[in-house]
Structure 1
Amino acid sequence: MGERGQRLRVNCWCVAGILLLCFGKRICAQLRYSVPEEVQVGSPVGNVAKDLGLDLSTLKDRRFRIVSGPNHALFLLNQNTGVLYIGKITDREELCDGIKVCLINLKIVVESPLEIHYVGVEITDVNDHSPTFPESEQRLEIAEHTPPGTRFQIHAARDPDVGTQSVRLYRLSSNEFFDIEIRDSEEDKIPFLVIKKPLDREQRAEHRLVLTALDGGSPSKSGSLNLTITVLDANDNRPVFSKDIYTVSLNENAPIGTLVLQLNASDLDDGSNSEIEYMFGKTQKKKVHDTFELDSVTGEIRVKGTVDFEDTEMYRLDLQASDKGQPPWTAESRVVIKIKDVNDNQPNIEVTSLSNVVPEDSKPGTVISLISVTDRDSGVNGKVICKILDNVPFDLTPSIEENMYSLVTKGRLDREIVSHYDITITATDCGEPPLSTVKTLSVQVSDVNDNRPLFSQDPFELYLEENNAPGASIFSVSAADNDLNENAAIAYHIVRGDGQHRDVTSFLNVNSDNGHISALKGFDFETLKTFQFQVVARPQILELRH
């Protein structure tokens, strides 16, 4: 898709997102792009920064990036231009086998202030596969005088491509006895060979045909299957299943050997012509064979491998019942197995961004980090309740998006009382029994200049002998500050007095750093018997927060 086409799609989607936000506040707007599979590394997908309205000049400083995820390596972000581009050649069939819409979800983060944006990139299909049959040849044995209209299932062709580029139609080589019919299933098109006119083994004992499968690409790709039909005399009744479609439910994690279903087919013939053998359809997927086993005699379907709801929610089994006549008759049926979820996954707590240092003067509601909680289970088993266990001045605030929380301050912080918090967050699902996950976050409270210096004694009373040596230290004062580092640094000075002692600074001096007081001249008892002065201790950082 060209740059203009991508831009049009993004703009249309963004408008839709705005409308959704207007009419439903709980829906979060996202960007969505579309790019074909197998495009070259370095190909642009879209300008995320521009479409989000971000200032390009701040992208590096704000650490514009993709948050790590299962598919984050497929794409890269240019912090200079804001362009999202291909970081690895994508194969849609490898990423999203069997999924109609292959959507890769990316989480984009910028900081200062912290923002999280969600970007979806749809990997669109290209016609890079041809239809293929499981075998190059299929042999059928059909009794002569089989009524016209009788159908026989043929191997279905598979094409990993999706939509119109998967298998669209089948063509049978020209002949007067057979035609081809297609049954559309949820996953594929299954061909059936249909008799147009009665067969006569004495006139022609064998028919060789070619079945061609074509996809809907442009140009179309194809694959072929050689059909050999041998006309025999035998059996005139086919087996019949008790149901065309069986539907059953099965708990995930069911033990190996668990009985899922017992098939029941009958045949009106006698002897070996009525003895029935059960089997999986020829085109059954390998995953079905790995998970279930079928008893060919009893028709019992039992668990063979691991059953995991989070891996597969539903299985579709194509089955056949064949009698032992010559030639054998075959009937088809389908079993739909719905897997029921059980609470077997613990919630997962993810800290998207954490500021582990918070100033003690932070206002209530200050965001410390964003917490996302996920649970692979579904329904009530996947619903998660998140809370803080300890009595700490922090709280979890739910976000608009489900299972997203903001860790915020609650109440006043005081470093001089508590300088460090370990915040324990627990996430518990609503399953029965519930499963929990605990995560501990460490937060350090940083100091601000919110304490005044205090003298250990006030007032001080000092006795001096007259005729002291000028310049000698006569006394020392000391004050303390509960703040840290530069916030606790103190400067001392003498306040100029009033009245007869207003010139006290002319004969006294204080060291501003250590509070040592020295006399600049000698004292004479007969001239001056007593005097008062005031020393002030103040922070070297004059700004004092309250």
Structure 2
Amino acid sequence: FNLKVEATDGELFSEPTYVNVTVVRGRMPSRSVTCRETGVAQSLAELVLQKATALRRPRVDEGYTDLFSANRLTPQFESFPSSIVVREDLAKGASVFQVRATDDDTAFNGHILYAISNGNRDSCFDIAMETGLMTVFRPLDRERSDRYVLNVTIYDQGLPQRSNWRLLTVNVEDANDNEPLFAKDSYSVVVPENTALGTEVVQVVAVDRDLGSNGEVSYSLLTAVPQFSINSNTGAVVVAGQLDRETIPAFNLKVEARDKAERGTQRFKVTTLSITLEDVNDCPPLFLPGSYSARVLEDLPLGAVIAWLQTQDSDLGLGGQVSYALANDGNGIFEVDAVSGAVRVGKQLDYERQQIYNLTVVAEDRGTPILRSLSYLDIEVVDVDENLFSPYFSEFAVRGSVKENSRVGTSVLVVSASDEGGDRVVWYSVRGGSGIGSFSIDEETGFPELTSGTSTGRTHCTPLQLNQYWQKSLHTPAVEPVLAELTAHPCSGTSAGRSHCTPLQWNQYWQNSLHTPAVEPVLAELTAHPRSGTSTGRTHSTPLQWNQYWQNSQHTAAVEPVLAEPTAHPCSGTSAGRSHSTPLAPQTHTSTWS
């Protein structure tokens, strides 16, 4: 605006001066500059207006004066202040100021009317024409206009009409009617996960247009997390705890800005702060499990997979890509796939050369810096029986001798065999020859032993040997089935006639005869056919059939108890004499005779 300003005393005018006024939109000036209303300008303006009114006032005819009808006096204000203060939160219609004035003229000449003739910007104020009560017509807003200079004019209704005016400065007092406003609707920031404690990551800013404590803003985090904190005065968000993207990759925080109003309700505003952690290669590969072990056969083919290495790396990008290697590969015996972690056989295994391998495996990522970890793989090679060589005797033929009255179990000689396949166990057995039944051999040591007497007459033979010999006779036509003859009563020890005796009693008596030299070994003679019940000739019967027939004879009086007579030696293969045998023992014995 360009203003032309002149000074006058009512009759003469000064030279004009020019003032340029520029209106700047923005924040209020610094509080360091304080302006105080002196009222000088307002007083000068009133004096100028009064002088101008006096010059325009018509001259009164001095010849005749009507004291009752002439409008001689001008209305006057009563105790009119230069300024008043109103709160901006006054409601519409609220009283602001009562203007009072007087006029000593009579009738209409003294009747006063009130008006706001100028300065009522935004039409925020109204004044009652007859009473002079000034009220709020439209809501006030200090942030839009904090001061109004109103020209309050009073008029009478006489002729000529007389008026008077005053300037009333209305200062709008601030009320806490504005909430803090953030510069952004929301904030978003990316922070490296290795950011040091105390580092500022972002500053949120909120502005409150109110004055004083109503416009002072305090900041706080509504989302309580130990990793971040905020400065209540500046709004700076800093790192308060250790960050770890692998644990919590992002944070969504609620930030509140609240004013410090001392009267009334405090106002606040909430915004969102999104913090995303940027990955840093801080996690080495982690083996799952921590160590490995495997048992492998020595004849596995080359390239066979014997173990899988697995790791977990929570980093992103290259930091999470893992490659595998062997710190020691057993001289190339093993190899590992760098990508999949499959451990394979690289060279032929040999149990006889090495049985245990302790490998160190390495896993490293491709991040910056490169991180690695170690694990261990224990491999046990399992022997495979290749059986490439047959056992052999040190001598082709071995000669030995034994006295005919030697006791059963007497050692005769020692045979020895070897196997070039290593520390293999050699087992011994008698497979054939004329001494079958008379001699046996220890299957582990190779010691032959005497198993029956060798003299003519009666021989010692266990029930098991008798049953086994009978089984062989079924598949060997040259061998006659084994029978037995009872020569002594197995229960009473006498030989007077035949007697009823169970196979169990007979077996028990045979056991006792081995330890009682005075008791002659029990023999048996078949006197009835175990199948047909006749006694004509010798018959072929298994020990089980014989036992079953004896059981039947207990309930059949016409059937004589079953006895048996051997016609072939069950142990030595000869028929010279009877032998000691029972029918029930083969049912419970589990060893093998050769």
Assess same fold via TM > 0.5. yes
Query: Residues 364 and 370 of structure 2 are in contact (CA less than 8 Å); yes or no, is this contact kept in structure 1?
Result: no
State yes or no: 1:408 paired with 2:242.
no
Query: Residues 492 and 537 of structure 1 are in contact (CA less than 8 Å); yes or no, is this contact kept in structure 2?
Result: yes
Distance 1:187 1:433 in 2: 43
State yes or no: 1:270 paired with 2:73.
no
State yes or no: 1:310 paired with 2:136.
no
Alpha-carbon distance, 1:412 to partner:
0.9
Deviations 1:19-60 (A, max 9, x none): xxxxxxxxxxxxxxxxxxxxxxxxxxxxxxxxxxxxxxxxxx
Alpha-carbon distance, 1:452 to partner:
2.0
1:194/1:248 CA distance change after superposition, 3 Å: closer
State yes or no: 1:240 paired with 2:240.
no
Distance 1:473 1:197 in 2: 120
Alpha-carbon distance, 1:366 to partner:
2.4
1:489/1:473 CA distance change after superposition, 3 Å: same
In structure 2, the residue corresponding to 1:486 is in which secondary structure?
helix
Alpha-carbon distance, 1:342 to partner:
1.7
**Matching residue of 1:473:** 305
Query: Residues 111 and 157 of structure 2 are in contact (CA less than 8 Å); yes or no, is this contact kept in structure 1?
Result: yes
Query: Residues 494 and 505 of structure 1 are in contact (CA less than 8 Å); yes or no, is this contact kept in structure 2?
Result: no
Deviations 1:209-262 (A, max 9, x none): xxxxxxxxxxxxxxxxxxxxxxxx942211111134353332213222212122
State yes or no: 1:334 paired with 2:167.
yes
Out of 369, 373, 376, the residue aligned to residue 209 of structure 2 is 376
Q: Letter of the aligned partner of 2:334 in structure 1?
A: L
**Matching residue of 1:360:** 193
1:366/1:384 CA distance change after superposition, 3 Å: same
1:447/1:197 CA distance change after superposition, 3 Å: closer
What TM-score comes out, normalization by structure 2 length?
A: 0.51
**Matching residue of 1:520:** 346
1:262/1:244 CA distance change after superposition, 3 Å: closer
**Matching residue of 2:52:** 193
Distance 2:44 2:219 in 1: 40
Alpha-carbon distance, 1:272 to partner:
2.0
Query: Residues 486 and 541 of structure 1 are in contact (CA less than 8 Å); yes or no, is this contact kept in structure 2?
Result: yes
State yes or no: 1:418 paired with 2:248.
yes
Q: Letter of the aligned partner of 1:237 in structure 2?
A: L
In structure 1, the residue corresponding to 2:108 is in which secondary structure?
helix
Q: Letter of the aligned partner of 1:273 in structure 2?
A: N
Distance 1:198 1:525 in 2: 137
Out of 89, 93, 98, the residue aligned to residue 257 of structure 1 is 93
Alpha-carbon distance, 1:544 to partner:
5.3
**Matching residue of 1:390:** 223
In structure 1, the residue corresponding to 2:154 is in which secondary structure?
strand
1:265/1:200 CA distance change after superposition, 3 Å: closer
Query: Residues 252 and 342 of structure 1 are in contact (CA less than 8 Å); yes or no, is this contact kept in structure 2?
Result: yes
**Matching residue of 1:325:** 158
Deviations 1:286-307 (A, max 9, x none): 516x111122211111211121
Query: Residues 243 and 333 of structure 1 are in contact (CA less than 8 Å); yes or no, is this contact kept in structure 2?
Result: no
Deviations 1:64-113 (A, max 9, x none): xxxxxxxxxxxxxxxxxxxxxxxxxxxxx6xxxxxxxxxxxxxxxxxxxx
In structure 1, the residue corresponding to 2:142 is in which secondary structure?
coil
Query: Residues 272 and 324 of structure 1 are in contact (CA less than 8 Å); yes or no, is this contact kept in structure 2?
Result: yes
**Number of paired residues?**
338
1:421/1:299 CA distance change after superposition, 3 Å: same
Query: Residues 473 and 517 of structure 1 are in contact (CA less than 8 Å); yes or no, is this contact kept in structure 2?
Result: yes
Alpha-carbon distance, 1:470 to partner:
2.2
Q: Letter of the aligned partner of 1:287 in structure 2?
A: R
**Matching residue of 1:484:** 316
Deviations 1:145-164 (A, max 9, x none): xxxx9x89xxxxxx99528x
1:314/1:486 CA distance change after superposition, 3 Å: same
**Matching residue of 1:343:** 176
Alpha-carbon distance, 1:353 to partner:
9.8
Query: Residues 80 and 99 of structure 2 are in contact (CA less than 8 Å); yes or no, is this contact kept in structure 1?
Result: no
In structure 1, the gaps of 5 or more residues are: 1-92, 94-126, 132-148, 153-158, 164-182, 204-232, 497-502
In structure 2, the residue corresponding to 1:462 is in which secondary structure?
strand
**Matching residue of 2:470:** none
Structure 1 segments, 4+ long, off by >6 Å, are 186-190
Distance 1:270 1:414 in 2: 92
Looking at secondary structure, tell me which structure has more strand per residue: 1
Query: Residues 486 and 540 of structure 1 are in contact (CA less than 8 Å); yes or no, is this contact kept in structure 2?
Result: yes
1:439/1:545 CA distance change after superposition, 3 Å: farther
Alpha-carbon distance, 1:485 to partner:
3.4
Distance 1:184 1:359 in 2: 63
In structure 2, the residue corresponding to 1:464 is in which secondary structure?
strand
Alpha-carbon distance, 1:436 to partner:
1.4
Deviations 1:391-422 (A, max 9, x none): 22112236xxxx64322211211122212211
Alpha-carbon distance, 1:194 to partner:
6.0
Query: Residues 352 and 371 of structure 1 are in contact (CA less than 8 Å); yes or no, is this contact kept in structure 2?
Result: no
**Matching residue of 1:441:** 273
In structure 2, the gaps of 5 or more residues are: 12-17, 23-39, 63-68, 373-594
1:199/1:342 CA distance change after superposition, 3 Å: closer
What TM-score comes out, normalization by structure 1 length?
A: 0.55
Out of 357, 370, 373, the residue aligned to residue 531 of structure 1 is 357
Alpha-carbon distance, 1:280 to partner:
2.2
Distance 2:284 2:56 in 1: 107
Query: Residues 108 and 157 of structure 2 are in contact (CA less than 8 Å); yes or no, is this contact kept in structure 1?
Result: yes
1:492/1:327 CA distance change after superposition, 3 Å: same
Distance 1:278 1:455 in 2: 94
Identity of aligned residues (%): 26
Alpha-carbon distance, 1:330 to partner:
1.5
Q: Letter of the aligned partner of 1:506 in structure 2?
A: G
Query: Residues 476 and 516 of structure 1 are in contact (CA less than 8 Å); yes or no, is this contact kept in structure 2?
Result: yes
Query: Residues 370 and 406 of structure 1 are in contact (CA less than 8 Å); yes or no, is this contact kept in structure 2?
Result: yes
Query: Residues 396 and 407 of structure 1 are in contact (CA less than 8 Å); yes or no, is this contact kept in structure 2?
Result: yes
1:255/1:198 CA distance change after superposition, 3 Å: closer
Query: Residues 314 and 337 of structure 1 are in contact (CA less than 8 Å); yes or no, is this contact kept in structure 2?
Result: yes
Query: Residues 495 and 534 of structure 1 are in contact (CA less than 8 Å); yes or no, is this contact kept in structure 2?
Result: yes
Tell me the C-alpha RMSD between the 2 structures: 3.6
Comparing 457-466 with 306-315, greater Cα deviation is found at 457-466
1:489/1:366 CA distance change after superposition, 3 Å: same
Q: Letter of the aligned partner of 2:139 in structure 1?
A: T
1:198/1:252 CA distance change after superposition, 3 Å: closer
Alpha-carbon distance, 1:327 to partner:
0.9
